[in-house]
Structure 1
Amino acid sequence: MPMVEPHRLRPRGQHPSRSLRSRSLRSRGAVALASAVLLVLTGCTATRTAPPSPRAPSSAAAIDPAACIPDPAAVVDRRPGAATKGNLSPALTESLDAAASAAFTATTAPGAVVAVRSPKGTWVDAYGVADLTTGAPLTTDVHHRIGSVTKTFTTTLIMQLVARKKLSLSDPISRYVPNVPNGSEITILQLANMTSGIANYTDDLEFMKLYLTDYSIIWTVDQRLATAFAMPPTSASGAEFHYSNTNTVLLGEVVEKITGHTLAEELQRQIFDPLRLTATSYPLASAVMPDPHAHGYTNLGIVSGAISADAPLRDSTAWNVSQAGASGEIISRVDDLLTYGRALGTGQGLLPRDAQIQRLSSIPVPSGYGIGMNCVQGWIGHNGQVPGFNTALYYDTRTDTTVVVEVNGDHPTGTTGTTPADAIFYAVAAALGRGLEGAAG
């Protein structure tokens, strides 16, 4: 299944509890990591005017009180606290555990791994089961498909190329990829902030029916692009926001064209190795999950000839997710994502100072989607979903706190269609005193 519109961090509301598929088997022991976050079927249909171009980088960026990130320079210059990998206080640990446990119980997900890292320390716990057949409890060290969180990695590679003056955000995509409809008018920036007007190939009904029927297919880039290019554009280039996996697939092609290396090689050389993300990988169309891993469970399927989020439950662990590619194929683990989440927010270890300021300044005010990341009320990041695996990764630019949620199920939570991972994230953010005003859970 596709990575689709990232669920916007939204106001919290009441929602009915759902019965669990299994009882909540707890894997206790809040662990301090020493070595060791969608709409389900379609993208958001709401549109808005296109965001402004990123503000020019400056060593003394102006503070904009109306912005989602009022002072990007302060975020980029922040140094990590000495206690980040120690244990959080017992009182805060108890509060986080209570919030995460209650939010998890309100979902139908088999299991969830939840993690917080702040200047005061780290907390990680696991809830529920890794395997519905055996009842094995979920543990905090499992590898997990992160879906559209991958977009933040691909766009980071783009920003690295911009910083090295190998690429400009104003370059047309036609300079790098041939035969893109209206390609001479569509810029790299418009691909990165989802305003290109190029259709989302995973919005194509026949594509999705085939994917959800035969999950062994290895999809090529050409197949995905051909599907998207045969669809009508969603808008004129630069006119409206429309979430499209096609945009990030094209950006992956740009990376390969400029560097002469595969996307997997560039991810390894430019992000995984520098940040020491030893449990993070780009599987290159392989369906194999590294051990240990949880089983993923999906309700996505074909019911009466239509795509449904309420199809009979299936184990999707071994499904091939090559249809995602640069937009959603990465596998990772919670300890790596905690490290990466802070680097994504601050740019430290990933981008030069001015390039990260430019990226943080690309987000429309007071909230919206910038260069490969979502921002609301100071929280930046992304969520992601492939069948059976749901992730939320967000960094709080105000308190230097990273939250990661991994869920091995994808059934929407409550009446709003919130993903399970985002529902748990909302609860944890509130327990941290940084709840999203009005966010729907």
Structure 2
Amino acid sequence: MSVSAVLLLALAAAGCAPASAPGSGSGSGPGPGGEDSAKNWQQASEKIVEQTLADEGIPGAAISATRDGEAWEFVTGEADTESKTPVEPGTPFAYRSITKSFTGTAILMLVDKGEIGLDEPVATYVEGVPSGDLVTIRMLLGMRSGLPEYTMSERFQALLNQDPTREWSDSEILELAFQQPMAFDPGTQYKYTNTNTVVLGQVLESVRGRSWSTVVDEMLLGPLKLDSVDYPDNRAKPEGTAVPYQVHENDELETLPDVRASLFSAAGGLFGTVGDLRTWAAALGSAQLLQPKTADERFAHASPTEGDPTSPLYDQYGLGMGEFHGWIGHTGVGLGYQALAMYHPDTGDSIAIVMNGAGADPDVPAKMFEKLLAEWDEK
């Protein structure tokens, strides 16, 4: 099976062979509900995580959450099935499309500073974007630009199959995207694409004169002390990163090649631990780094997602982040990794999930999240 086919999730249904090993959880003491209450929801949650991995055939996962002031972290399964290396709390995973929320937040922070205008055309900042005089920064953030998806380019798929570990550049990715026709007139529809956020990475570079990842590091990672979060670009992935696996219909695991983070760039290239991802979920959902006026813009004109069959599982998508059952955050999936980061603005609860396996269903973390919410409501 081709790597590009895996990337596009053109696979049969996921297998259901058990792939997880016993896990271990950790907390920081009883919350308002008392020690017994905390143990109840944590133990129930652990069962949901382990059952999901068994049902989906995913080797390993980590979850970090806060609920009613109670912190909880749980790891289970294997980061590397060949060496039998277990998942640890400090094991890095690829965040994939959750990277979009980092890039989008950096853009919004520069809106706060008056360096970027939400309704300015992207041509103000980046040359060569099709309909760049009509596509605005707001449209890029909200997935309403009409720019074509670069991973759908036949040339991109051919290059990826020829050498899955090849190095990529943003200019190459965008050239492959822009050789395709626009999907629709700018601003008229919602269509989730990676191209939008790669262009936003170029906007960051144009405005600040440094790579998008350096801007994100300076503006987000440093202030929030997200020490594990890294963009490897064309380097090897961070040491100790969980091995990515594709789960096939016949219950077999395929070890996937270590594609370069540059393949996803500002749309999906970040790696990090589950603990740092939960910290990010809280910062993202609470708009910790934004001025109130800009924070209000995030969902002022959000798009329902049901019209896009390829969209991740959100109720609506705003500016670089989604809303799901009242929670704000982002999910990510691609080439052997799945992840979720969510925060509830009313309760202050937050959750992060990372996995090192993917099959036909690109929404496993979101569906597991729904099961966790149902269990938490009962507890």
TM category (shorter chain) comes to 0.7 to 0.9
Aligned to 1:303: none
- Deviation string, structure 1 residues 120-169 (Cα, Å, up to 9, x no partner): 21111112211111223222221111000000000101101100011111
Matched residue SS, 2:358? coil
What residue identity is the alignment partner of 2:178?
F
Identity between Structure 1 and Structure 2 (%): 26
Task: Confirm whether residue 27 of structure 1 aligns to residue 23 of structure 2.
Answer: yes
Q: CA deviation at 1:250?
A: 0.6
Structure ranking higher in helix proportion: 2
- Deviation string, structure 1 residues 41-80 (Cα, Å, up to 9, x no partner): xxxxxxxxxxxxxxxxxxxxxxxxxxxxxxxxxxxxxxxx
Task: Confirm whether residue 321 of structure 1 aligns to residue 273 of structure 2.
Answer: no
Q: TM-score, length-normalised on structure 1?
A: 0.75
Higher relative contact order (CA 8 A, sep 6+): 1
Aligned to 2:66: 117
Q: TM-score, length-normalised on structure 2?
A: 0.87
- 2:28, 2:199 → 1: CA distance? 35
Matched residue SS, 1:432? helix
Unaligned runs of 5+ in 1: 7-15, 35-81, 301-308, 435-441
- 1:141, 1:311 → 2: CA distance? 28
Moved over 6 A (4+): 1-6, 309-312
Aligned to 1:78: none
Over 3 Å counting, the alpha-carbon distance change for 1:372 and 1:185 in structure 2 is same
- Deviation string, structure 1 residues 242-298 (Cα, Å, up to 9, x no partner): 11111101101111111112212111110001111111112222223233x321112
What residue identity is the alignment partner of 1:323?
L
Would the aligned equivalents of 1:297 and 1:389 in 2 still touch at CA under 8 Å?
A: yes
Would the aligned equivalents of 2:232 and 2:260 in 1 still touch at CA under 8 Å?
A: no
Aligned to 1:197: 146
Aligned to 2:106: 157
- Deviation string, structure 1 residues 326-377 (Cα, Å, up to 9, x no partner): 10000111111111101101111x1122221222434247941110111132
Aligned partner (choices 288, 293, 296) of residue 244 of structure 2: 296
What residue identity is the alignment partner of 2:262?
S
Task: Confirm whether residue 354 of structure 1 aligns to residue 288 of structure 2.
Answer: no
What residue identity is the alignment partner of 2:106?
L
Would the aligned equivalents of 2:69 and 2:349 in 1 still touch at CA under 8 Å?
A: no
Over 3 Å counting, the alpha-carbon distance change for 1:269 and 1:5 in structure 2 is farther
Matches within 5 A, 1:55-204: 89-204=38-153
Over 3 Å counting, the alpha-carbon distance change for 1:181 and 1:255 in structure 2 is same
- 1:235, 1:329 → 2: CA distance? 27
RMSD: 2.9
Task: Confirm whether residue 386 of structure 1 aligns to residue 319 of structure 2.
Answer: no
Task: Confirm whether residue 396 of structure 1 aligns to residue 337 of structure 2.
Answer: no
Aligned partner (choices 430, 433, 438) of residue 374 of structure 2: 430
- 1:156, 1:4 → 2: CA distance? 26
Over 3 Å counting, the alpha-carbon distance change for 1:255 and 1:17 in structure 2 is closer
What residue identity is the alignment partner of 1:358?
E
Over 3 Å counting, the alpha-carbon distance change for 1:232 and 1:312 in structure 2 is farther
Over 3 Å counting, the alpha-carbon distance change for 1:257 and 1:114 in structure 2 is same
Aligned partner (choices 185, 190, 196) of residue 247 of structure 1: 196
- 1:362, 1:87 → 2: CA distance? 43
